[in-house]
Structure 1
Amino acid sequence: MITRRPLLLAALASPLGTARAADAEALLRSGGVVIAFRHALAPGTFDPPGFKLGECSTQRNLSDEGRAQARRIGEWFEQRSLKPQRVRSSPWCRCVDTATLAFGTPEVDATLGSPRGYSEATNAESLRALRRSLAAAAKRPGQFEVWVTHMFVLSALTGEGSSSGEGPVLRPRSNGEPEVLARLLVG
């Protein structure tokens, strides 16, 4: 059982997950990685019919607990003096709000957007663009990026699921496919 405390670096799923989570801070410090957060807690699944980007009142949004979770993520980074070189967010309000509460105003990037809002061709190009961005980040030792996106994007990118507010630390393999090196879940 994971005890929930403020600013807990939590391990998930398995003993291997425990070792991987313990390495998250060291990986961020050494750089050349991206930590790609799933947005913080937003009750429900999917957006309501007729939702519109740029109109938060039509979307599924962060709960009070989700806003607190996003702030705790930012506090975890601040307490460790970890400053991302770049913060990018999906244009969905729950992602922008997560990024803003944790790190300040992000760069809004459609390639991080939910696949539910785009065509298959656009989604495929977005994944290619994210892999290119990951490869570019890997060439910057001592620096890391933060991405805030959706479960479906992370699943398509890594082949793995993620919890709300969880951040897999990514680096490209030699074939360009993302590898999950660690997972950060701030409780």
Structure 2
Amino acid sequence: MFRAAIAFLMLLAVATAQATEAAWALLRNGGQVVLVNHAHAPGSGDPANFDLENCATQRNLSEQGRQQARGMGALFYARAAPIGMVLTSRYCRARDTADIAFRDSPIETFDALDELARDPEVADEQIRATLQRILDYSGSENLVMVTHEANIEAIANVRPRQGEAVVLSRSDDGVRVAARLTFD
């Protein structure tokens, strides 16, 4: 039983490495859209006194999250994955992830990437606006969108970990996950 468990873990590691290499190959070619879940920010939700304009009232990156963001950016640049633009949520944990990881790329806030609204109609509009931006992208470099777990789950139907990236494949039918990248 122990040998079977070890064999399974080794196969899983090989499969993960192959999936990661496939993702980097896509990104090196450019023209991809990448959804990035912000780096590690302990806890869940935001405090009752939340103010979008005041980082002190939000859940923020931990030191581990800052290191994770630095590693993310270093890998993108080391793997020669060209970045044309980075769009980010206005939340501090997402903005900080974008600023730390992609500091050498143009970064803009995009309100639709904010944490999904509690009002279903507003959340649907955020998803529509994000999907439209994804589907309209035609650049030769990669578009990186730093956002939140719920947003990525609503768009790509996968639940990413903090600091995980999802490379999307686009078609007339919508989007699907082409690859996933972890930065641990």
| 1:49 paired residue number | 48
Matches within 5 A, 1:121-136: 121-136=121-136
Retained in 1: the 8 A contact 2:52–2:91?
yes
Retained in 2: the 8 A contact 1:39–1:148?
yes
Question: CA separation in 2, counterparts of 1:66 and 1:54?
Answer: 21
- Taking CA–CA contacts closer than 8 Å with sequence separation of 6 or more, which of the two structures ends up with the larger relative contact order? 1
Is 1:179 aligned with 2:180? Answer: no
- Residue ranges of structure 1 left out of the alignment (5+ in a row): 1-12
Is 1:163 aligned with 2:161? Answer: yes
What TM-score do the two structures reach when normalised by structure 2? 0.86
Which has the larger share of helix? 2
Number of positions where the alignment pairs a residue of Structure 1 with one of Structure 2:
171
Query: How far does residue 20 in structure 1 lie from its aligned partner after superposition?
Result: 2.8
Matches within 5 A, 1:96-135: 96-104=95-103, 106-116=107-117, 119-135=119-135
Question: CA separation in 2, counterparts of 1:106 and 1:113?
Answer: 15
What amino acid maps onto 1:81 in structure 2?
Answer: A
| 2:3 paired residue number | none
Structure 1 residues 92-135: Cα deviation after superposition (integer angstroms, max 9, x where no partner): 0000000000012620111000014x532221111111111111
Matches within 5 A, 1:17-166: 18-104=17-103, 106-116=107-117, 119-137=119-137, 139-140=138-139, 142-166=140-164
Cα gap change, 1:14/1:127 in structure 2, threshold over 3 Å: closer, same or farther?
farther
What amino acid maps onto 1:56 in structure 2?
Answer: C
Query: How far does residue 66 in structure 1 lie from its aligned partner after superposition?
Result: 0.3
What amino acid maps onto 2:179 in structure 1?
Answer: A
Give me the CA root mean square deviation: 1.8
SS of 1:171 mapped into structure 2: strand
SS of 2:155 mapped into structure 1: helix
- Residue ranges of structure 2 left out of the alignment (5+ in a row): 1-11
What amino acid maps onto 2:162 in structure 1?
Answer: S
| 1:10 paired residue number | none
What amino acid maps onto 1:29 in structure 2?
Answer: R
Question: CA separation in 2, counterparts of 1:78 and 1:72?
Answer: 10
| 1:8 paired residue number | none
Percent identity, aligned pairs only? 35
Question: CA separation in 2, counterparts of 1:76 and 1:106?
Answer: 18
What TM-score do the two structures reach when normalised by structure 1? 0.84
What amino acid maps onto 2:178 in structure 1?
Answer: L
Cα gap change, 1:14/1:68 in structure 2, threshold over 3 Å: closer, same or farther?
closer
